[in-house]
Amino acid sequence: MLDHDETLGQAREELEGCLDVEATRAVERRYLGKQGVVQGQLAEIPRLEPDARRAAGQAANRLKQDLQQAVQERIEALESADIAAQRAGTGFDATLPAPHSQRGGLHPITQVTRELEDLFRSMGYDVLDGPEVELDYYNFEALNIPGDHPARDSHDTFFCQGDGHLLMRTHTSPVQVRAMERFEPPMRIVVPGKCFRQETTDASHDHTFHQMEGLVIDRNVSVSHLIGAMKTLLRGIFGRDLDVRLRPGFFPFVEPGFELDARCPFCTDGCSVCKKTTWIELLPCGLVHPNVLRSGGLDPDEWGGFAFGLGLSRLVMLKHGIDDVRHLLGGDLRFLEQF
Amino acid sequence: MLVSIRWLSRHIDLTGLSPEQICEDLTLSTAEVEGLEPFAPHLSDVRVGHVLERNAHPDADKLSVCHVDIGGEDALTIVCGAPNVSSGQKVAVAPIGTVLPGDFKIKKSKIRGVASQGMICSVRELELGEDHDGIWVLDENAEVGASVSQALGLEDFVIEIDNKSLTHRPDLWGHRGIAGELAAIYSRPLKPLNVELPDCGNGAAFPVQIDTSACSRYLALPIDGARAEPSPDWLRFLLLAVGQRPIDQIVDVSNFVMLDLGQPNHTFDRQKISSGVNVRMARDEERLFTLDGEERSLQASDLLICSGDEPIALAGIMGGQNSKVGEDTSALLLEVATFDPVIVRRTSARLALRTDSSARFEKSLDPTLPLKALGHFVQILRSFQPKIQFPGPLTDAGEWVDPAHRLTLRTERVHAALGKALDEQEMEDILRRLGFGVQSSATGFSVDVPSARSTKDITIERDLIEEIGRIHRYHNIPEQALRAEIAPPKPDLRRNMVRQIQDRLAGGARFREALSYSFVADESLERLGLLGEPYVQVVNPAAQGMDKVRRSVLPSLLPGLEANRRLREDIRLFEIGKGYHPEQANDRGEPLECHQVGLVWAGCPPDKSARFDASRFHQLQGVITDLLDHLQVESIQWRPSTAPPAWAHPAKTLEVYVEGQEEPLGLVTELDPGLCSKLGLSDDLRSDVAASELSIDALLGAPKFEGRYRPIPRFPGIKVDVAVALKEETPAAAVEAAIRESGKGLVADIELFDLYRGENLGESRKSLAYHVLLQSASKTLTEKDERKFLKRFEQAITQQGGELRNG
The answer, for A205 touching chain B at a CB cutoff of 8 Å, is no
Task: Give the model confidence (pLDDT) of A35-45 as tens digits.
Answer: 888 888 888 88
pLDDT for the residue B459: 93
Backbone angles phi, psi at A72, to 5 degrees: -60, -45
Closest approach of chain B CAs to the CA of A226, in angstroms?
8
- Is residue B609 within 8 A of residue B582, CB to CB? The reply is no
Q: How far is CA A327 from the centre of its chain?
A: 20
The answer, for A152 touching chain B at a CB cutoff of 8 Å, is no
Helices (H), ranges, chain A: 4-16, 21-32, 37-44, 50-88, 108-122, 136-139, 174-182, 223-238, 290-295, 312-320, 333-336
Percent of chain B as helix, strand, coil, to the nearest 5:
30, 30, 40
Closest approach of chain B CAs to the CA of A112, in angstroms?
13
Mutation for testing the A interface, residue in B28, B343, B462, B520 having most A CBs under 10 Å: B462
The answer, for A104 touching chain B at a CB cutoff of 8 Å, is yes
Task: List B161's β-bridge partners, or say none.
Answer: B33
- In angstroms, the CA A212 to CA A191 distance is 5
- Contact (CB<8Å) A223/B474: yes
Query: Can you give the C-alpha Rg of chain B in angstroms?
Result: 42
Type of residue numbered B252: D
- Contact (CB<8Å) A125/B479: no
- Contact (CB<8Å) A160/B539: yes
A178 interaction partners in chain B (CB closer than 8 Å): none
Check residue B12 and report its DSSP letter. Answer: B
Considering the four listed CATH numbers 3.20.20.100, 3.30.460.80, 3.30.930.10, 3.40.980.10, the one that applies to the domain covering A108-336 is 3.30.930.10
- In angstroms, the CA B221 to CA B336 distance is 9
B591 interaction partners in chain A (CB closer than 8 Å): 133, 166
Kindly provide the ipTM of the predicted complex, given to two decimals. 0.85
- Contact (CB<8Å) B417/A247: no
Q: Can you count the helices (H) and strands (E) in chain B?
A: 22, 40
B416 interaction partners in chain A (CB closer than 8 Å): 220, 222, 304
pLDDT for the residue A99: 84
Backbone angles phi, psi at B97, to 5 degrees: 100, -20
pLDDT for the residue B807: 54
- Contact (CB<8Å) A131/B507: no
- In angstroms, the CA B513 to CA A113 distance is 14
CB < 8 Å from B in window 208-227 of A: 208, 210, 216, 218, 220-225, 227
B592 interaction partners in chain A (CB closer than 8 Å): none
- Is residue A273 within 8 A of residue A280, CB to CB? The reply is yes
3-state secondary structure B271-336: HHHCCCEEEEECCCCCEEEECCCCEEECCCCCEEEEECCEEEEECCCEEEHHHCCCCCCCEEEEEE
Average pLDDT per block of 10 residues along chain B, 807 residues long = 97 96 96 92 90 88 90 88 89 91 88 89 86 85 89 91 92 97 97 94 92 97 93 92 93 97 97 93 95 95 95 96 89 96 94 95 96 97 95 95 96 94 95 97 96 93 96 93 81 93 95 96 94 95 94 94 92 97 94 96 90 93 96 93 93 94 94 90 90 96 90 92 92 93 93 89 90 94 93 93 81
Task: List B444's β-bridge partners, or say none.
Answer: B410
- Contact (CB<8Å) A131/B593: yes
- Contact (CB<8Å) A103/B510: yes
Nearest beta carbon to residue A336 from set B416, B487, B514: B514
Give how far Cα B260 sits from Cα of A193, B5, B93, B176, B251, Å: 43, 12, 32, 6, 14
Mutation for testing the B interface, residue in A133, A207, A329 having most B CBs under 10 Å: A133
- Is residue B305 within 8 A of residue B315, CB to CB? The reply is yes
The answer, for A111 touching chain B at a CB cutoff of 8 Å, is no
- Is residue B449 within 8 A of residue B405, CB to CB? The reply is yes
B479 interaction partners in chain A (CB closer than 8 Å): 224, 227-228, 231
- Contact (CB<8Å) B479/A227: yes
Backbone angles phi, psi at B206, to 5 degrees: -75, 130
Task: Report percent pLDDT > 70 for chain A.
Answer: 100
The answer, for A245 touching chain B at a CB cutoff of 8 Å, is yes
- Is residue B235 within 8 A of residue B256, CB to CB? The reply is yes
pLDDT for the residue B290: 95
pLDDT for the residue A1: 63
Nearest beta carbon to residue B512 from set A160, A229, A336: A336
- Among B217, B225, B243, residue whose Cα is nearest residue B35: B243
Mutation for testing the B interface, residue in A106, A195, A263, A306 having most B CBs under 10 Å: A106
Given a cut of 80, whether residue A78 has pLDDT beyond it is: yes
Closest approach of chain A CAs to the CA of B648, in angstroms?
21
The answer, for A242 touching chain B at a CB cutoff of 8 Å, is no
- Among A57, A54, A23, A1, residue whose Cα is nearest residue A11: A23
Given a cut of 70, whether residue A267 has pLDDT beyond it is: yes
B408, containing H or E segment? strand B405-410
Mutation for testing the B interface, residue in A333, A334, A336, A337 having most B CBs under 10 Å: A333
- In angstroms, the CA A180 to CA A205 distance is 31
CB < 8 Å from B in window 282-311 of A: 287, 289-290, 304
A114 interaction partners in chain B (CB closer than 8 Å): 499
Burial A274-283 (b: 16+ CB within 10 A, else e): beeebbbbbb
The torsion region of residue B568 among left (phi > 0), alpha (psi -120 to 50) and beta comes to beta
Name the CA dihedral angle for B645, B651, B657, B663, rounded to a multiple of 10 degrees: 40
Q: Beta B548-549 vs B536-537: how paired, if at all? A: antiparallel
Q: How far is CA B273 from the centre of its chain?
A: 43
- Is residue B726 within 8 A of residue B802, CB to CB? The reply is yes
Type of residue numbered A159: F
The answer, for A148 touching chain B at a CB cutoff of 8 Å, is yes
Closest approach of chain A CAs to the CA of B677, in angstroms?
20
- Across the A:B interface, residue pairs with CB atoms under 8 Å apart total 229
The torsion region of residue B178 among left (phi > 0), alpha (psi -120 to 50) and beta comes to alpha
What is the pTM (predicted TM-score) of this model?
0.85
Task: Give the model confidence (pLDDT) of A89-114 as tens digits.
Answer: 888 898 999 888 788 999 999 999 99
Give how far Cα B172 sits from Cα of A248, B166, B339, B699, Å: 14, 7, 18, 55
Q: Can you count the helices (H) and strands (E) in chain A?
A: 11, 9
CA-nearest residue of chain B to A104? B510
**Half-sphere exposure (Cβ direction) of B272: Cα atoms closer than 13 Å:** 20
A220 interaction partners in chain B (CB closer than 8 Å): 416
With bands split at pLDDT 50, 70 and 90, how would you rate the model's confidence at A236? confident
pLDDT for the residue B390: 95
- Contact (CB<8Å) B482/A148: no
Which burial class, exposed, middle or buried, applies to B387 when counting CB atoms under 10 A from its CB (0-12, 13-18, 19+)?
Answer: exposed
Task: List B77's β-bridge partners, or say none.
Answer: B67
- Is residue A300 within 8 A of residue B413, CB to CB? The reply is no
- Is residue B524 within 8 A of residue B559, CB to CB? The reply is yes
- In angstroms, the CA B774 to CA B690 distance is 35
- Is residue B69 within 8 A of residue B89, CB to CB? The reply is no
Nearest beta carbon to residue A248 from set B30, B568, B591: B30
Q: Is the peptide bond before A186 cis (omega within 30 degrees of 0)?
A: yes
Give how far Cα B87 sits from Cα of B57, B146, B293, Å: 15, 19, 44
- Contact (CB<8Å) A227/B417: no
- Contact (CB<8Å) A224/B465: no
CA-nearest residue of chain B to A155? B164
Give how far Cα A114 sits from Cα of A105, A130, B315, B499, B627, Å: 14, 17, 53, 9, 21
B472 interaction partners in chain A (CB closer than 8 Å): none
What spatial distance separates the first Cα and last Cα of chain B, rounded to whole Å?
92
